[in-house]
A and B are shown apart, each in its own frame.
Chain A
Amino acid sequence: MQRPTLFSVQLGALAMRCGKKILWMLLVLWGITLISFWVIHLAPGSPTDMEITLNPLASEGARQQLEALYGLDQPLYVQYWEWLSRLAHLDFGNSLSADSRPVLEKILERLPLTVGMNVISLILTLLLAVPLGILSAWKQNSLFDRAVTVLVFLGFAMPSFWLALLLMMYCGIDHAWLPISGLTSMDYAQLSVWGKVRDVSAHLLLPIIVYTVGSLAGMSRFMRSCMLEVLRQDFILTARAKGLPARTVIFGHALRNALLPLITLLGLSVPGLIGGSVIVESIFALPGLGQLFYGAVMARDYTMIMGNLVLAAVLTLAGNILADVCYGLADPRIRGSQKEA
């Protein structure tokens, strides 16, 4: 009964690796906060601009009072240290905007929409990209493969906001099939539960299409090249030579190997998704994280900007770690090599 012990040794090695990885990630996170904090605070403009400069009745004294209130009169390293020590207790501070609510609270109420839309579109992307990639690779250089390649190139070059505008024009204005902005209709409060679900889905359909098209091109191209890579290997040749049907070769032998690199790609796609949400949400006027960040940037709301940056960095790093762990769990070769290392 050697197997369980071997497996537990491997798991131990994996845990060790994860521990190291997490330590490194914390260091990276610290680096990111350091750079962003200084860049943002040293840049011209201040959160008090909105309230003071634009108000002719406000005096210089009022500005100083406000700066003292926000702690902006301290030297920068003191401000950073205080911000960092608060962050250690997961306290992101209060927003510097007029409502001065806690940053974390404001972020958390926006998070579900943005994350939800991204997860749905990611699932859709995978459902479409994997079969597309497999088929193009299996029928390399066929008419189908060429057509997909053309579409992929168009997808790469398509600015997401232009696609959104075209969809709004076609589905929203010319045919009036779907609403083009906001999350709910005017009469939302009067709708039944089922009606509410339908209303929100109708509002989210176009944004999700835009997200999906945006990542579909890259994903299906990547899937295709992974599949081609696997299909050229000897064990596939063996499988085909012994007369296995194409379906068994593709789904039984090739696909499992070709899917592995996709895990890493998914982990790496997090920053792109977060960035994309700013554009999509601002076009469709959706109250998500991207809009919150855009508003914070415009108002120079330091604590809010930093809160969003930290969250985005944490999500990115979590994506990386998760991809790493999943890769290790999914690929026995990696588990083995870690034990030796």
Chain B
Amino acid sequence: MAFFSKAPARWLRYVAGSYGMAVLGGGIVLIMSLAALCAPWLAPYQPDALHLDAILQPPCPDFLLGTDVLGRDVFSRMLYGGRVSLWVGFVAVGISVSIGLTLGLVAGYFGGWVDECIMRGVDVMLCFPSFFLVLAVIAFLEPSLLNIMVVIGLTSWMGVARLVRAETMSLKQRDFIAAARLSGSRTSKILFMHILPNALAPVLVSATLGIAGAILLESSLSFLGLGVQPPDASWGNMLMDGKNVLEIAPWLSLYPGLAILITVLGYNLLGESLRDIFDPRLKEQR
């Protein structure tokens, strides 16, 4: 307690200096997630309720961020659109991290031709014109939230696989792994109980940044009309609607984009600061 009472200002400066980015990023992520989760209670209107007497209203006390072409409340739709972003971010990254973790562990631990095969596969996937393929596959499979999440997940696991492989290769040389092997642990136990927990820190960083990427990708797809389908709201398809009336209703194109910017910024800040916290040596370099 003495520490706090003596120099609160200095303590505050210390926290802001070392964790400022983390607090800011985490705060943004927390607020955005809460807003999305509590959308049914926070939204003043139903997201698809039409107010045909109030079409294309600019922001006003009744409609905080205005209304769109069909008189739907932009603020309510943005809250529900936040759920889409949150959902896509977590599920897509969940899929890509699971694939990347498993392949990376196997490649790094077993080495040899297994490693060779997996890493060549990673090379092929990295050369894939992935946005083209994602676009084609989603257009063919009927655009839907589920398809987007799966396709984004399936085309973005390579970074995690490389990270985990490198970590595993260095971890398996350590004494505690040798000890586990000598004491007769099964390989699967060594992989998932001993190596995995020690390789998680960089994965967490990469996953946080991956959520940001997935949110951006989903909004681009929705903007092209290949993502979340109307009448469901997502930030991307709200912008698509707004584009057609850019000249008379600019607020429709303004706020959903701002929401994407802030959310992605939040996840990026959080990811970068986690990296610094987990590996302070790197901080000097960046």
Contact = CB atoms under 8 A, between A and B. Distances in A.
A158 B264 CA distance: 8
Given A36-B133, A159-B260, A169-B250, A44 B128 contact: no
Interface stretch (A69-77, A90-98, A308-316): A308-316
A153 B261 contact: no
A154 B131 CA distance: 22
Q: How large is the interface on A (under 10, 10 to 19, 20 to 34, 35 or more residues)?
A: 35 or more
Interface stretch (B69-77, B166-174, B218-226): B218-226
A157 B264 contact: yes
A156 B131 contact: no
Interface in B243-265: 243, 246-247, 250, 253-254, 257, 260-262, 264-265
A275 interface: yes
A282 interface: yes
Contacts of A313: 127-129
A159 B257 contact: yes
Interface of B is mostly: helix
Interface stretch (B51-59, B136-144, B195-203): B136-144
Contacts of B239: 161-162, 165
A165 B124 contact: no
Given A229-B285, A312-B132, A317-B127, A157 B139 contact: no
A40 interface: yes
Interface of A is mostly: helix
A279 interface: yes
Given A32-B124, A279-B224, A43 B132 contact: no
Contacts of B284: 228, 232
Contacts of B257: 159, 162, 165-166
A208 interface: no
A297 B128 contact: no
A162 B260 CA distance: 9
Nearest to B269: A153
A89 B17 CA distance: 62
A39 B124 contact: no
B123 interface: yes
Given A154-B261, A161-B239, A225 B285 contact: yes
Contacts of A200: none
Name the 5 nearest CB pairs between A and B, nearest first. A275-B131, A162-B257, A312-B129, A43-B140, A157-B264
28 contacts: A28-B123, A28-B127, A31-B124, A39-B136, A39-B137, A40-B140, A43-B136, A43-B140, A153-B268, A154-B261, A156-B264, A156-B265, A156-B268, A157-B268, A159-B264, A162-B260, A165-B243, A165-B253, A166-B257, A169-B250, A228-B284, A271-B128, A274-B132, A275-B129, A282-B224, A294-B135, A300-B140, A309-B132
